[in-house]
């Protein structure tokens, strides 16, 4: 019943529906790349240098004669792969750590988690992520690890607060009276009641991962074996000076649309899943 009310609330939010459609569109584009239907020739220099948009090259070509449309489409796959991995892992990690900290509030576990969170939050985000990515440069998972190491903290803080409230509820006390272990209570009763937090945080982490990847790739310490919007923007710095804007416009427009879609969807989900608003 809660799911029906949530979906009804989401359907009534026009901005949220627009966001959902945008996200589904880009997911469909990523699926065509995964299936090998689009974007497979992104590295081929199949045209002349800086060709204008035409029937063979819809967005034109770059300095090397590579098709900008193919590179833009393949970058959607890159964005979804990085976003999904970072969002799922960081949200799961934050949920687990936050639930433990909240359940054992005011203990050494909670103190250790809060100390670690304070240390990570005190370090400038992009400097910390860039330092980890640079130190592990050459490893395909370096950028993922750098983002996961910082993204979990916000989720952990929110889940911790929720767990502290939930542990005083009657059904949790009843589970304790029945002799269930702390881990089983956390798994069966605490974490399921934080789903509304986790869904919203996952979408926020997804967007943050994409934007961070673009910045790292622009700086040369992000995607190493492939193509992404960040790399396209880095290429465009020289092209813009020469008066060629196709690379810059294609990467910027697609990044803007995807981030806009997720932001609209995230706001709508937050409203729909907020227990105080009756959406969940």
Count of residues making up the chain: 280
Supply the DSSP string of 198-263, one letter for each residue: HHHHHHHHHHHHHHHHHHHHHHTSS--SS--HHHHHHHHHHHHHTT--HHHHHHHHHHHHHHHHHH
Q: Is 156 helix (H, G, I), strand (E, B) or coil?
A: helix
pLDDT, residue 278, reads: 45
On whether residue 201 sits in a domain, the answer given is yes
The answer to whether 191 touches 99, Cβ cutoff 8 Å, is yes
Element (H, E) at 254: helix 246-273
On whether residue 186 sits in a domain, the answer given is yes
Domain at 32, CATH number: 1.10.3720.10
Place of tokens 């706001």: 267
Burial bucket for residue 219 (CB in 10 Å: 0-12, 13-18, 19+): middle
Nearest CA-CA partner of 100 in 90, 110, 114, 88: 110
Angle value at C-alpha 261, between 11 and 235, nearest 5 degrees? 170
Q: How many domains does the chain have?
A: 1
On whether residue 54 sits in a domain, the answer given is no
On whether residue 152 sits in a domain, the answer given is yes
On whether residue 133 sits in a domain, the answer given is yes
On whether residue 60 sits in a domain, the answer given is no
pLDDT, residue 260, reads: 94
Q: Which range (40-44, 69-73, 198-202, 228-232) has the least confidence?
A: 40-44
pTM surpassing 0.85?
yes
3-state DSSP: the chain helix, strand, coil percent, rounded to 5? Answer: 75, 0, 25
Q: Is the pLDDT of residue 229 over 90?
A: yes
- What's the domain range around 78? 2-36+66-277
The answer to whether 133 touches 156, Cβ cutoff 8 Å, is no
Task: Please give the Cα distance from 120 to 98 (Å, whole number).
Answer: 15
Q: Is the pLDDT of residue 250 over 50?
A: yes
On whether residue 102 sits in a domain, the answer given is yes
Q: Is the pLDDT of residue 277 over 60?
A: no
pLDDT, residue 134, reads: 82
On whether residue 198 sits in a domain, the answer given is yes
What is the average pLDDT score of the chain?
A: 87
Instruction: Return the CA Rg of the chain.
Output: 22
């Amino acid at each position: 019943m809660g799911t029906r009310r949530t979906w009804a609330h989401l359907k009534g939010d026009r901005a949220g529906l627009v966001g959902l459609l945008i996200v589904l569109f880009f997911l469909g584009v990523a699926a065509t790349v995964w299936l090998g239907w689009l974007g497979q020739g992104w590295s081929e220099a199949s045209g002349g240098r800086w060709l204008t948009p035409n029937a063979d090259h819809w967005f034109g070509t770059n300095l090397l004669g590579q098709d900008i449309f193919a590179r833009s489409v393949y970058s959607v796959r890159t964005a979804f792969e990085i976003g999904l991995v970072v969002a799922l892992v960081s949200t799961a990690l934050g949920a687990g750590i936050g639930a433990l900290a909240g359940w054992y509030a005011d203990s050494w576990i909670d103190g250790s988690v809060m100390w670690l969170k304070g240390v990570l939050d005190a370090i400038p985000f992009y400097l910390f992520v860039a330092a980890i990515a640079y130190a592990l440069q050459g490893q395909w998972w370096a950028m993922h690890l750098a983002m996961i190491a910082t993204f979990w903290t916000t989720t952990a803080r929110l889940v911790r607060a929720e767990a502290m409230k939930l542990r005083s509820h009657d059904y949790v006390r009843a589970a304790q009276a029945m002799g269930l272990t702390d881990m089983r209570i956390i798994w069966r009763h605490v974490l399921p009641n934080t789903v509304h937090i986790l869904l919203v945080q996952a979408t926020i982490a997804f967007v943050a991962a994409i934007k961070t990847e673009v910045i790292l790739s622009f700086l040369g310490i992000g995607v190493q074996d492939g193509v992404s919007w960040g790399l396209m923007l880095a290429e465009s710095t020289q092209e813009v000076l020469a008066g060629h804007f196709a690379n810059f416009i294609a990467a910027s427009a697609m990044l803007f649309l995807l981030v806009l879609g997720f932001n609209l969807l995230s706001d709508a989900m937050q409203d729909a899943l907020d227990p105080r608003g009756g959406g969940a």
